[in-house]
Amino acid sequence: MSPEQFISLIQNVQEPLRRFLCVLCRGDADKADDIAQDTFMKAFLAIDSFKEQSGLNTWIFKIGYNCYVDKVRKEAKLKVEDISSGSVCIPSDERADDRFKYEALYSAIDILSNHEKAVILLFYKEGMSIKDIASVTGMTEANVKVSLFRGRNHIKEQLENGDR
């Protein structure tokens, strides 16, 4: 498949995937874009393994979610190594106004586990079915439903506690 053919296939999923990753990355658009780029590269290289069992969007989101999880694991490992070596550094190129633009939204979402975050975002923001979310996250449909229930309750508790 040529790069042009691949691009035409994924044009409809590009913005929803970036939006999903951006929220998972707590508004860090640069990080989300890096993960999206990794996602599309991996998808392009593996397009021959795509099976029509799930939709292209579900397949791309699954790759994107896996890239996100890999990035989080790698960052956690680096933080442990940085702390043990005493070389913790804070990036100086962050814009302060970008960090606080959606603070209330990210605070409510931040309380959720990674699984709950992904399930809530895919269900409510991207409109995916329980079956597709299960495919993206590798969870069973029953676990997706439980994560949706728990995620809603955690957000509700956070918002109620925040109003006091």
Q: What is the pLDDT along the chain (164 residues), one digit of tens a residue?
A: 666 777 777 888 888 899 889 888 877 888 999 999 899 989 888 887 777 666 888 888 889 999 998 888 887 766 544 444 443 333 434 454 555 555 655 677 778 888 888 898 888 888 888 998 998 888 899 999 999 999 888 888 877 776 55
Tell me what pLDDT residue 82 has.
44
Tell me what pLDDT residue 140 has.
92
3-class state of residue 50 by DSSP: coil
Tell me what pLDDT residue 97 has.
54
Tell me what pLDDT residue 92 has.
39
95: region left, alpha or beta (phi > 0 left; psi from -120 to 50 alpha): beta
Tell me what pLDDT residue 36 has.
92
C-alpha to C-alpha distances, 49 to 28, 43, 45, 112, 138, nearest whole angstrom: 31, 9, 9, 33, 17
* CB-count burial class (<10 Å; 0-12, 13-18, 19+) for 40: buried
What is the C-alpha to C-alpha distance for residues 10 and 14, in angstroms, rounded to an integer? Answer: 6
Tell me what pLDDT residue 163 has.
53
Tell me what pLDDT residue 145 has.
93
